[in-house]
Chains A and B, each alone.
Chain A
Amino acid sequence: MSDVVERTLSVLPGLLGQHDPGVGPGGAGGPGRVSATSRLGSLIRSITALTSKHEEEKLIQQELTSLKATVSAPTTTLRLMKECMVRLIYCEMLGYESSFGYIHAIKLAQQGNLLEKRVGYLAVSLFLHENHELLLLLVNTVVKDLQSTNLVEVCMALTIVSQIFPREMIPAVLPLIEDKLQHSKEIIRRKAVQALYKFYLIAPNQVQHIHDKFRKALCDRDAGVMAASLHIYLQMIKENSSGYKDLTGSFVTILKQVVGGKLPIDFNYHSVPAPWLQIQLLRILGLLGKDDPRTSELMYDVLDESLRRAEINHNITYAILFECVQTIYTIYPKSELLEKAAKCIGKFVLSPKINLKYLGLKALTYVIQQDPNLALQHQMTIIECLDHPDPIIKRETLELLYRITNGQNVIVIVQKMLDYLKESKEEYAIINLVGKIAELAEKYAPDNEWFIQTMNAVFSVGGDVVHPDIPNNFLRLLAEGFDDRKEDDQLRMYAVQSYLALLEEEDALYPQKFLQVMSWVLGEYSSLVTDVDPEVILTKLHSLLKKTVITSETKMWIMAAVTKIASHTSCSKIVDRLIQEFSNSLDTCMRQYAFELKHLCEDKALMRNLLPFDGSCNDMVVDASLSFLDGFVAEGLGRGAAPYKPHHQRQEEKLSQEKALNFEPYGLSFVSSVSSSGVTGRQSPTGLSFGSDTSGNSAETGHKETNTLKLEGVRRLWGKEGYLPKKENKVGKENEPQTVSCGSLLGGQVGDPPALRSDQVASLSEEDKEKQQLASTLFIGLGSNAGVSLMGKADTATQKFKRKSKINETQSSEEASDFQNSAASDFGPLLDTVPINMEDCEGDIRTRLRKASLCSSDIVEDNLAFETPQSLKKSGLDDRLPDSRLSQSSLFADSNIEIFQPSQNAQCESASKTPLVPCLSEELEELTHSEVVELCQSDALALYLCKVWTDDSLLLVVFVSNKTTSALNAVNLVFEEAEHFQILESTAYQFPVIEAQNVECCQKRVWMDKICTQGILSGSVNYQSEMETRLEFSITLSLVDFIRPMEMTTEDFGKLWLSLSNDVKQNIRMSSSQDSLPAALSTLQQKLKLHIVDIIGNEGILACQLLPSVPCLLHCRTHSGMLALWFRSPCSALPDGLLYQCQKVMEES
């Protein structure tokens, strides 16, 4: 019954006026509910009736005030509260803040019954954000609900967790959510996976230990859960595809089964089996197969099948097709598939449906660099798209054309872009396109005239929204010029002439940036144009200055130009008038300029000296130490002035004084005003004053600054090298018109059979001919015989790809070296890259272990101790060592830090085995160090490494042993720059000579620069035997290598603890072997070199530092078999890294 009323209510808005039933969903509501719902109704009604924004604001404010009163009244029932929340959500949606209600939303989620709770949770997820402090109040409720026996409550809790949850409270709910992965209901499992995905996003290292649970979710018996786990995998593979190559087979199998229709029928959407799932899987495959022939091979079949199966003519099949095509072009290519994909793209491009056309163009843009012929096939469609009524299609087409631009078609393409610009009003589109035009113009300009005209169009259409790089680059191009002096001057002259012509038009309005460019060029180069009287130019500039629309920044540019021109002319009436006019200007900057100009005009010689012609590119030597002021300073000090202290020092002193009250008013404002004036000075090149004669050419410094500003990331495109190919383009261009005029409209490059072409030509209407003409000009130089002209563009294309693949290369090489490195330390068989066979569960765990722990060799050994007898022996040795340790270094003063020190007989043993195995010098031998491991070998050389953990750094001792019977000369050892590590002193070392059968060693001190759990330091050795030989090696360094104990008292610890802000908390399970706190702590002390500061009851505090001196404090507490770790450090990444190491250590022991 109530349903009927509800329908009536919602379908007939007209009834709303008289009818006030207010029966909410669910019907049988109490009296409070009725009134509340109708209040929402009346609120909405009155808002709809309003006409102005202002009235709405007033009404909502009223509403909010009454809501505020209601929610804070103690008599308000939860039911009424629920209705209030809905109204608050409505107000928030309209953009009115209702922060007073947030706490009540949390309360509702805590206390309400199911329905109220649901609204409470919803309101919380809409109102709050991840870092909101109130969110902490929700944690207990979530924990309670997760433990509830009521599935709906569990579901709600999981939903809120996967929408919004405070990062630092993850440990509180993580075990509960892990449990839910085993739940019998699939919806619960699915939401639990989703919640874990959320955790992975906000705190990846907190879910590191449950990666095997993700795998379990991936092979869940319910496809929905599996689909949810794909989100996690997509994310993880995006970050590190190499770690999941072993899953490729599984993903392929899943996709095969989905495509083959093995899923239950209710997964179908428009009779396509689970399309979204397919899309997700294709994405994952694309990421996995990228630049990897072996992995790609696994997926060719299934991709082929996907292409074949997706035949039903529905949107969603096109979605799958599009994804397929993208994947095929992303992975390692296979010609057969590429052909099919190309055909598919054709389907998209030619489709009458605009959405598909758009995607087709997008795909073309994507593949054009690999396959320019594809664009040729579809050239007529592309031409049609250029005139498409939908601006989005047009823009995508231009994007495509931008990718195929070369020296021959640049004019047409840029013209098309300018046409679009003139129609477009969207700022974003303009900025984007203007940047592209400028780039193309600089790269491919066929001649000066065209270049200047295009840039003029860019500046006048782009207006003041153009990226500041564009005018900067343009001016730099003009100023720096090329090798050919004459050419340079012609370009500059042309620019000057064109600007003079533009300024001729009296009432034309140009954007400020354009005017700035003009005035700079006129100032610098107007003297090149001999047939124009400088007086004329000055008049023009003068009239510009008087215009009101000119901003003061532009005025500065103009004044600078006037000054420069004045320096070349003897005397000028205009200049005098200008000085007169602006000497009493209200604008202080202008007044200053006028005075400067006045004084400079009085001393022409100085002026010419100060403003030399074409001096903008001369390198300026600036006396940064201000040595010419030394005398002045000495005199000042002699008179008893206080010595100068830098700003930060003053600040520190001030802080250290710690006054209760600040008695110095305006203390800081002076500082800020100084810095702000400094900033304005830098904004415009002319803003820098050249008032003080002693500082010389400071105006020129200003120019220099704009010229060099913001050049990072901008490629020099039309530089000294770029100009030569341009000339070749010209030659090419002269040839081109001939082919066109010969009647073959499509040009020789198109590659259609000639017969067909002539047929086409015959049947073409006039309009089509035009299009053909356009096509031939657009797609010129794209075919296989494009030759030189394509080089420029193709270059950038390949470079893009190169850069990408380079990253991959380094990654894979890192990986490879990783393996190599550990292979060198004797556990080869485990470390093959072949995906570990899944039937063997243990093998899988091993791989993971290996992945996680390839940091330092001794840890690896501990890991694998149970597998290789050799390392078993060693670890046994390790265990014995703490007792039988002979020497004690100052570094690890704690009595029981575990250090590998080969016992005497072990050394002898190894020494007798190979005579050339090196050992440490005596003084190093006393320090804690690792065993000597072999890094790499060749016929002549063998490299060994020993890590020595000194107090202030990690000392890498590299031994180079000469295995040959003759001496080796000039052996160079070079370390590559590594992202994470810093090698103190130099990265290279040369051994002048290594005698036969002899060992030399070199030592390098290393710090960790950027924190990572482990990283690779690679390097190479060069030596001259018969030929130049190079031997590469890499060293895996772990965070632990750089951790040193930090000794301090409990008191100091407390002080430091309070001053640190970066927190990481985590609970980890303790194994049975170390169930007491002291045992656990001594494990940490031994393995991680932490210093135990104090142990009180079930709490312990530890301290360590990352070299050189980043402290990290750790607070531990045990409760019921769990160890609660709480890290604090000034560096945010350090606690995360250490936490990871702790987890590992605790797991292992």
Chain B
Amino acid sequence: MINAILVFNNHGKPRLVRFYQHLAEEVQQQIIRETFHLVLKRDDHICNFLECGSLFGGSDYKLIYRHYATLYFVFCVDSSESELGILDLIQVFVETLDKCFENVCELDLIFHMDKVHHILQEVVIGGMVLETNMNEIVAQVEAQSKLEKAEGGLSAAPSRAVSAVKNINLPEIPRNINIGDINIKVPNLSQFM
């Protein structure tokens, strides 16, 4: 499980903080601070995994991080996650951000905090990886922002009309059309379908 996702800049200013287990505010801040100090000390050319000691209470927690220009992306995970898998998940997340913001930079993260959170929600939900397919994530996010625009324009219209339009604008994801092509077949379990 992923316990926390932290993004901070080179000066340790938090840019995105998402904890998936409940911790007191002070503990969270301490974790951010200590994580920053741990990560800052390290060169760019050494390994991207870190044992974070007793930061989260147990001993089998790990920090997996990547450094992009001015930002550190740090995932705190427990032993049930694959290190290299998470490392590439960070890459997927950042590439998705890049697609959604076109050339993402630190300021995007600050000023569109809510949007970044929404993108993250499509990737990781409740500490579990939900989606790793970048096109899919972008499609979801775009469908939502399309809706945003539609709603922005319609905000004055009567609510019934709004919901009618909303239903027309439902995100349609091409993947669903190809259902026939998906060849994952689980034999023996077919009677459940």
Which residues of A are at the interface with B, using a C-beta cutoff of 8 A? Answer: 7, 9-11, 13, 25-29, 40-41, 44, 86, 89-90, 92-95, 97, 113-115, 118-119, 122, 126, 129-131, 149-152, 159, 162-164, 185-187, 190-191, 194, 197-198, 212, 215-216, 218-219, 221-224, 226, 228, 231, 234, 238, 249-250, 253-254, 257-258, 262-264, 266-267, 269, 274-276, 279, 283, 315-316, 318-319, 322-323, 354-355, 357-359, 389-390, 392-393, 395, 426-429, 837-839, 841
Complex: A355 Cα to B85 Cα, angstroms:
12
Asked if B130 contacts A114 (CB within 8 A), the reply is: no
Asked if B191 contacts A149 (CB within 8 A), the reply is: no
| CB pairs A–B below 8 angstroms (29 shown) | A27-B149, A28-B149, A95-B32, A129-B22, A131-B22, A150-B166, A163-B126, A194-B130, A224-B136, A238-B80, A250-B189, A253-B186, A253-B187, A257-B184, A257-B185, A264-B181, A264-B182, A276-B89, A279-B82, A316-B85, A319-B82, A319-B83, A355-B84, A389-B43, A390-B46, A390-B47, A838-B190, A841-B191, A841-B192
Asked if B107 contacts A219 (CB within 8 A), the reply is: no
Asked if B53 contacts A429 (CB within 8 A), the reply is: yes
B169-193, CB under 8 A of A: which get 1 and which 0?
A: 0110101101101111111111111
Which of B84, B85, B102, B128 is within 8 Å of A7, CB to CB?
B102
**A contact residues around B131 at 8 Å (CB):** 190, 224
- Minimum-distance CB pairs A-B, first 10: A838-B188, A428-B53, A319-B84, A129-B22, A262-B183, A390-B46, A219-B186, A95-B29, A354-B47, A10-B107
**New A-B pairs, 17, CB < 8 Å, besides A150-B163, A194-B125:** A40-B111, A95-B32, A114-B148, A122-B117, A129-B22, A162-B125, A163-B20, A190-B131, A191-B125, A198-B126, A215-B192, A266-B136, A274-B132, A276-B85, A279-B85, A837-B188, A838-B187
Asked if B112 contacts A25 (CB within 8 A), the reply is: yes
Which of A41, A92, A263 is within 8 Å of B111, CB to CB?
A41
Closest A residue to B163 by beta carbon equals A150
Interface centre among B22, B153, B162, B182 (most CB of A within 10 A): B182
Asked if A263 contacts B126 (CB within 8 A), the reply is: no
B67 lies within 8 A of chain A by Cβ = no
Interface members, chain B 82-112 (any A CB < 8 Å): 82-85, 87-89, 92, 101-103, 105, 107-108, 110-112
**B contact residues around A185 at 8 Å (CB):** 176
Q: Smallest CB–CB gap between A349 and chain B, Å?
A: 13
Asked if B82 contacts A322 (CB within 8 A), the reply is: yes
Asked if A257 contacts B183 (CB within 8 A), the reply is: yes
Q: Known contacts being A194-B126, A354-B45, A427-B53, is A269 close to B183, with CB within 8 Å?
A: no
Which of A25, A44, A275, A389 is within 8 Å of B88, CB to CB?
A275
Asked if B18 contacts A187 (CB within 8 A), the reply is: no
Closest A residue to B156 by beta carbon equals A30
Interface centre among A26, A257, A426 (most CB of B within 10 A): A26
B145 lies within 8 A of chain A by Cβ = yes
Asked if A223 contacts B190 (CB within 8 A), the reply is: no
Which of B32, B105, B128, B178 is within 8 Å of A11, CB to CB?
B105
Q: Smallest CB–CB gap between B164 and chain A, Å?
A: 10
Q: Smallest CB–CB gap between A321 and chain B, Å?
A: 9
Complex: A819 Cα to B190 Cα, angstroms:
28
Asked if B182 contacts A222 (CB within 8 A), the reply is: yes
Asked if A10 contacts B87 (CB within 8 A), the reply is: no
Complex: A263 Cα to B37 Cα, angstroms:
42
Complex: A221 Cα to B118 Cα, angstroms:
27
Closest B residue to A321 by beta carbon equals B84
Complex: A759 Cα to B159 Cα, angstroms:
86
Q: Smallest CB–CB gap between A1109 and chain B, Å?
A: 36
Q: Smallest CB–CB gap between B27 and chain A, Å?
A: 10
Complex: A130 Cα to B21 Cα, angstroms:
9
Complex: A186 Cα to B133 Cα, angstroms:
14
Asked if A276 contacts B149 (CB within 8 A), the reply is: no
Complex: A315 Cα to B91 Cα, angstroms:
11
Which of A25, A92, A263 is within 8 Å of B115, CB to CB?
A25
Closest A residue to B120 by beta carbon equals A122
Complex: A198 Cα to B128 Cα, angstroms:
10
Asked if A10 contacts B105 (CB within 8 A), the reply is: yes
Q: Smallest CB–CB gap between A587 and chain B, Å?
A: 34
Asked if A113 contacts B54 (CB within 8 A), the reply is: no
B135 lies within 8 A of chain A by Cβ = yes
**B contact residues around A149 at 8 Å (CB):** 163, 167
Closest A residue to B107 by beta carbon equals A10
Q: Known contacts being A129-B22, A359-B84, is A219 close to B14, with CB within 8 Å?
A: no
Complex: A429 Cα to B188 Cα, angstroms:
50
**B contact residues around A152 at 8 Å (CB):** 144, 147, 166, 170-171
Q: Smallest CB–CB gap between A784 and chain B, Å?
A: 32
